[in-house]
Amino acid sequence: MAGLKILVIESRPDIAAWLAREGEARELDLTVGTGVTEVWSELLAGRFDCVAGAFNGDGALLERLPESIRPKRIPLRPEWNSDSTLRVRWSQLLNAWTGHGVTVTDTKWLKERFDDKMDVCHREFIESLRPVMGQLSEHEADLSEHSRRVGIFAARIGRALGLPSEKIRVLMVGGLVHDVGKIRIDPETLNKPGALTDEEWLSIFSHPEWGVEIVEDHAEEEEILGMVRHHHERFDGKGYPHKLRAGEIPPLARVLALADAYDAVTHDRPYKKGVSHRHAVKEMLKSAGTQFDPDVVRGFLASRLDRVKTA
């Protein structure tokens, strides 16, 4: 076990806290996440050697894997109601980790199965954009964190909308790269607290198309390009760059647009303070049917983004 980096997914906060404590007591290099969407970003980032998760409830990450790569389950069933059953379950998890079960998924094992799938392409794609993303975070503080959060939020909304896991992964990747075109905007414009000139606005309005020019050298996937190009379109046709409306906007771009706006309003910017989740919910509701697709707003309400850990 020593040296293995382990990611455990558990959606119940009390159990997650308990797992974290127990892991620490055993000096395990263990991180506890509470949502399945985190797994995708962590796997894409390649930060963990193995992932462990319960097979029931909201944290059932392994059940959400495509059937072709889903590991066999072992039933770790006793309800997690008391400390004693938690101990039973913990020892079962430990047994699984030491080779007696498959609750734990070795990410190497997963990666082998992903090799034919698009995740590996996505990983390479993100790797290929890493230099430009690094440069970009020097231009605009928080941009890489913003992009990561938007990917997580979009994936979470996608899940609430019942999208299949392939689409959820694409949403995550789209979030990571959606603002890459900002690399061509003057950093002073990006961080300017006051009013922008016409020329500065023009460069802001151009960043989706610039993003496509950068991304299309590395990825041909229409859905990713669509998210980069159309993440500032509005449902009522008053967005940019193409003033598309409603169903003309690619579906995943409609999801990304809301995730992007949610992150923008709830986090501090150089020119304004972030608002609370409650306040953001009111804004999103007010904008259903104008700025945002009402169905996506419904998914947003069900996705409870305030419960998502993004740090």
Binding residues (CB under 5 A) for Fe ion: these are 179, 260
* Shortest separation between residue 94's beta carbon and Fe ion, angstroms: 42
For 16, the enclosing helix (H) or strand (E) is helix 13-25
Shortest Å distance, C-beta 205 to Fe ion: 10
Q: Which is nearer to Fe ion, 63 or 145 (CB)?
A: 145
Q: 32 pairs with which residues across the strands? A: 8
- Residue 62 or 177 with smaller CB distance to Fe ion: 177
Decide: residue 117, CB within 10 A, 0-12 exposed, 13-18 middle, 19+ buried. middle
Cβ nearer to Fe ion, comparing 15 with 227: 227
Measured from the CB atom, is 53 or 181 closer to Fe ion? 181
CB of 136 to Fe ion, least distance (A): 11
**3-state SS, residue 273:** coil
Nearer to Fe ion, 42 or 179 (CB): 179
CB of 232 to Fe ion, least distance (A): 6
Nearest approach, Cβ of 177 to Fe ion (angstroms)? 10
CA distance 263 to 37: 16
Nearer to Fe ion by Cβ, of 165 and 206: the residue is: 206
Three-state DSSP class for 192? coil
Choose between 59 and 175: whose C-beta lies nearer to Fe ion. 175
Which among 210, 261, 215, 212 is positioned nearest to 234, based on CA atoms? 261
Least Å distance, CB 124 to Fe ion, is 23
- Tell me the closest approach of the beta carbon of residue 239 to Fe ion, in angstroms: 11
* Cis-peptide into 71, omega within 30 deg: no
- Amino acid at residue number 293: D
298, exposed or middle or buried, with CB in 10 Å at 0-12, 13-18, 19+?
middle
Strands (E), the chain: 5-9, 29-33, 50-53, 104-106
Q: How far apart are alpha carbons 47 and 41 in whole angstroms?
A: 9
Contacts of 220 by beta carbon, 8 Å cutoff, 6+ apart: none
Q: Are 19 and 10 in contact (CB under 8 A)?
A: yes
